[in-house]
Amino acid sequence: MKDKIVVIGGGGHAKVIINVLKKLNTYDILGYTDLYDRGPVLGINYLGTDEILNKLIDENKGCNAAIGVGNITLSDIRLIIYKKLKKIGFEIPVIISPTAIINEDVIINEGTLILDGAIINSGSKIGKCTIINTKAIVEHDCTIGNFVHLTAGAITGGGVKVGDYTLIGVGAKIIQYKNVCANCVIGAGSIVLRNIQEPGTYFGVPARRINLNNKN
């Protein structure tokens, strides 16, 4: 008998998660919740808003949930959803695409999503509710924090440390043994060549902190 799971959100990120869950074929997907009905998402039906979650857990003890709300900017929305789900009583499993490569001696914490073609190499530790997106690469002995998002094609070299709530943009790279502190955005295509110790948005080659209030 398959474990039951509900997907929180019905947008693009939720669609990717549903696709992975269907390929895994280890969960019975009850449906998805969202602020409004988007119609069937890859054949998965709308259940209602998050107000339905208490009823769902009452009817399906031990039910799992997947946070299908992504982030492309710094935001605490995933943390808020996580806390709500835990308070209600949902389990939030690690979900790993069957096409991802997870090598030996890797630790992956609760709620983290490893998507198609991603690679995590030996000795690395991935925090809670982090997203390792399509074809992202985490090299050996990295430490990736909680609620981090390595977007599609992002690469962290060996021994890199990334702090909580940080977003690594599409195709961005962090060279080996460099650290990026919490609450940073590393812009798409940027390359981090030295440690980043101040929260903010960084862009370019090498990545430099930018002033978002400067219109010039």
Domain boundary among 88, 106, 124: 88
Rg (CA), the chain: 18
User: Is position 75 within any domain?
Assistant: yes
Q: Contact, 199 vs 162, CB < 8 A?
A: no
- Residue 213 pLDDT: 62
pTM above 0.85, yes or no: yes
Q: Tell me whether residue 131 is in a domain.
A: yes
CATH of the domain at 64: 3.40.50.20
CATH no. for residue 146? 2.160.10.10
Residues of the chain with pLDDT under 50: 215-216
* Structural domains counted in the chain: 2
Which of 72, 88, 104 is at the close of a domain? 88
C-alpha pair distances (Å), 42 with each of 14, 25, 57, 98, 150? 10, 14, 23, 18, 24
Of 36, 68, 88, which marks where a domain is finished?
Answer: 88
**Range(s) of the domain holding residue 120:** 95-201
Do 99 and 195 lie in a common domain? yes
